[in-house]
Amino acid sequence: LDGDNKLNLFVGQDLGGLFHLEHDENSNLGIYAEIIPTQNIECFPVPANKSLTIRLELMGDKLFVYNVIGQKIDELMLNQGTNELDLQNYSNGIYFFQFINTGITRKISVNAD
68, 75, 112, 108: CA torsion to nearest 10: 50
Please state, as a whole number, how many other Cβ atoms lie within 10 Å of the Cβ of residue 99.
Answer: 19
Least confident window among 31-35, 53-57, 69-73, 105-109: 31-35
pLDDT of 76-96, one tens digit each?
Answer: 999 999 999 999 999 999 999
CATH number of 41-110: 1.20.210.10, 3.20.20.70, 2.60.40.3080, 3.30.1060.10? Answer: 2.60.40.3080
pLDDT, position 10: 84
Cβ-proximal residues to 62 (8 Å cutoff; 6+ apart), any chain = 75, 76, 77, 78, 99, 100, 101
- Distance in angstroms (rounded) separating the CA atoms of residues 100 and 22: 46
pLDDT, position 28: 67
More confidently predicted of 15 and 58 = 58
pLDDT of 26-52, one tens digit each?
Answer: 776 666 666 667 788 999 999 999 999
Give the residue among 53, 48, 112, 101 at the shortest CA–CA distance from 81.
Answer: 53
